[in-house]
């Protein structure tokens, strides 16, 4: 049975952070958050990592993240995500400057992945337990279609002290499957309570225990077929909108609503953290140091 693949979404430039944060070293020997994710993925049993990147920074990225970096413990591929990567007859509008979103990033890897795969953000830390629970789930799927998964995290543990964040707020049914995921923006804690801003500008409270998606998804290869079909629908409606993005929740919600697929919400006791704003970085560095001190990671990963 083929080992699952790890798909790393690394094409975004991190506008709020102000630099190519995927390459920012936060470990004691310059390790990035991606390094820790890949280290955890190898321990969990993943056999390949596929990076989605942009041609504009491909030279620096591929020079750093090759199979030799990981001592050939895992196979490595790089796939480009660019504006012009559209199905015929669509062409990118001249006013658009950024890629088409996270699910487009998945779609461009269609020829590089033929086994169950997990999807992660390049700039998030998910923890060893998260990769283990996902790897265990994917390993049992084989050629199954439409049995997907996501790792859920408690909203209260995913906020930034530096400013508001956006999160995929999840509704989970009594059997532990995802009913829907809704993108909520301007989420922040105020006076001890977490609020998000709705489409009318009103503040709506959310519980700390609310399950949110941090883009740790698990799919089987049939997901590419559904994504290709829905991307055409998306482009027909939004090709002229320079801000429209083909996000993962858009596709997942559609497949769940149509009963084409179901998504198991996996639980992990691992701590999530990430770098959304420059001010988050010192706390991330300290958290990594703490995990090393507890023996979770060696001081030097590779």
pLDDT tens digits, residue range 151-193? 999 999 999 999 999 999 999 999 999 999 999 999 999 999 9
- Name the maximum alpha-carbon separation found in the chain: 55
Contact 105, 98 (CB under 8 A): no
Could you tell me the domains of the chain?
5-151+212-293 (3.90.550.10)
Per-residue 3-state assignment (H helix, E strand, C coil) for 137-202: HHHCCCCCCCEEEEEEEEHHHCCECCECEEEEEEEECCCCEEEEEEEEEEEEEECCEEEEECCCCC
Q: Reply yes or no on whether the pLDDT at 61 is more than 70.
A: yes
Contact 52, 109 (CB under 8 A): yes
Q: With cut-offs at 50, 70 and 90, classify the pLDDT of residue 22.
A: low
Over range 40-63, report the average pLDDT. Answer: 94
- Any idea what the Cα angle at residue 297 is, between residues 293 and 301, rounded to 5°? 125
Mean per-residue pLDDT of the chain? 93
- As a whole number of angstroms, the distance between CA 62 and CA 185 comes to 33
Of the chain, the percentage scoring pLDDT greater than 70 comes to 96
Q: Whole-model pTM?
A: 0.93
What is the pLDDT, as a whole number, of residue 143?
86
Say what the alpha-carbon torsion angle 130, 136, 140, 142 is, to the nearest 10 degrees.
60
By DSSP bridging, strand 165-172 and strand 211-219 are antiparallel
- As a whole number of angstroms, the distance between CA 217 and CA 214 comes to 9
């Amino acid at each position: 049975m083929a080992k699952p693949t790890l798909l790393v979404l690394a094409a975004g430039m991190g506008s709020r952070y102000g630099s190519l944060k995927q390459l920012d070293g936060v470990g004691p020997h310059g390790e990035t958050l991606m390094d820790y994710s890949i280290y955890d993925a190898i321990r969990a049993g993943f056999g390949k990592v596929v990076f989605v990147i942009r041609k504009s920074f491909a030279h620096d990225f591929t020079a750093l993240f090759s199979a030799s970096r990981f001592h050939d413990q895992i196979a490595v591929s790089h796939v480009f995500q660019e504006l012009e990567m559209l199905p015929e007859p669509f062409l990118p509008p001249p006013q658009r400057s950024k890629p088409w979103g996270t699910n487009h990033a998945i779609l461009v890897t269609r020829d590089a992945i033929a086994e169950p795969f997990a999807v992660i953000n390049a700039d998030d830390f998910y923890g060893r337990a998260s990769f283990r629970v996902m790897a265990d789930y994917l390993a049992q799927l084989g050629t199954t279609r439409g049995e997907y998964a996501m790792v859920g995290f408690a909203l209260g543990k995913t906020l930034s002290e530096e400013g508001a964040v956006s999160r995929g707020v999840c509704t989970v049914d009594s059997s532990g499957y995802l009913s829907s995921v809704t993108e909520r923006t301007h989420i922040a804690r105020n006076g001890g309570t977490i609020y998000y801003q709705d489409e009318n500008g009103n503040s709506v409270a959310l519980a700390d225990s609310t399950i949110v998606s941090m883009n740790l998804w698990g799919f089987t290869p049939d997901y590419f077929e559904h994504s290709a079909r829905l991307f055409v629908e998306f482009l027909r409606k939004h090709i002229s909108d320079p801000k429209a993005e083909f996000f993962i929740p858009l596709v997942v919600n559609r497949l769940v609503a149509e009963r084409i697929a179901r998504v198991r919400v996996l639980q992990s006791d691992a701590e999530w953290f990430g770098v959304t704003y420059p001010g988050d970085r010192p706390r991330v560095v300290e958290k990594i140091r703490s995990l090393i001190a507890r023996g979770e990671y060696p001081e030097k990963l590779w």
